[in-house]
Structure 1
Amino acid sequence: MPEATRESLTQGSWRELDFEPFRDRVMIHWIKRFESDQPGVALLRYEAGASVPRHRHEGLETILVLTGTQSDESGDYGAGTYIVNAAGTEHSVWSDTGCVVLIQWDRPVTILQGR
């Protein structure tokens, strides 16, 4: 498996990584799984039209959109966009076109309902 680095991820090396199912039509590649009180870091690959239902952030979440467009109730975020979602915030996420994002969660989210 290739090493995931800043430089290689922004240049598309994520295409060579192994992904596993995460949610319907959303795949995940764990860079660092959650451990005790340590954050989780992963790549999420959304198929066109995929979504993640409304959820609450139990800790800080940061996202870098690598390709495509990710959307939530506040807007659309294209490649290169850096998104910060504070602890306690809620939203649902989708991608009409498909996208790949680098994501770090301080803590797992709590799913609230479907989109």
Structure 2
Amino acid sequence: MPETTRELLTSGGWKELAFGPFRDDVTIHWIRSFEDDQPGVALLKYEAGASVPRHRHEGLETILVLDGVQSDEAGDYGRGSYIVNAPGTEHSVWSETGCVVLIQWDRPVKILE
């Protein structure tokens, strides 16, 4: 990740980045898309009340909550929380208040619903 991207993430500068469509009420800013068997890295911005349906992790997923609160069946994760979802695990995700997360997927997830 270039130093300028790191600085944007830690200083709140991500607020100035362009986000595009991902799912209903969830937008994405790709830092690195999936290519040549490399993981995908992105920022996801959830509007208040947004959710992602139940899905299975086909590879390792790591998340750092940069702002707000992200939730799943295991709990609520506020700013600074670091979440690791192992390959083969399943859950759904939502944010009652809205949030922004830095996410890395080894492989795209499989939506189950």
Query: Which TM-score bucket, shorter chain as reference?
Result: over 0.9
Q: Deviations over 1:34-60 (max 9, x none)?
A: 003110000000000000000000000
Match for 2:5: what amino acid?
A
In structure 1, the gaps of 5 or more residues are none
* 1:19 maps to 2:19: yes
Map 1:68-107 onto structure 2 (within 5 A): 68-107=68-107
Shift of 1:8: 2.6
Structure 1 distance, partners of 2:29, 2:69, is 18
Equivalent residues, number: 110
Code of the aligned partner of 1:31: I
Q: What is the distance in 2 between the residues matched to 1:100 and 1:41?
A: 13
Code of the aligned partner of 2:45: R
Deviation per residue, 1:68-104 (Å, 9 max, x gap): 0000000000000000000000000000000000000
What's the RMSD between the two structures over aligned residues?
Answer: 0.7
1:4: Cα distance to partner?
1.6
TM-score, length basis structure 1: 0.93
Aligned to 1:34: 34
User: Structure 2: any 5+ residue segments left out of the alignment?
Assistant: none
Aligned equivalents of 1:62, 1:13: Cα separation in 2: 21
AA at the equivalent of 1:72: D
Which residue in 2 is equivalent to 1:47? Answer: 47
Aligned-pair distance for 1:61?
0.1
The one-letter code sitting in structure 1 at the alignment partner of 2:25 is R
TM-score (norm 2): 0.95
Q: Secondary structure at the match of 1:4?
A: helix
Give the fraction of aligned pairs with identical amino acids, expressed as a percent: 78
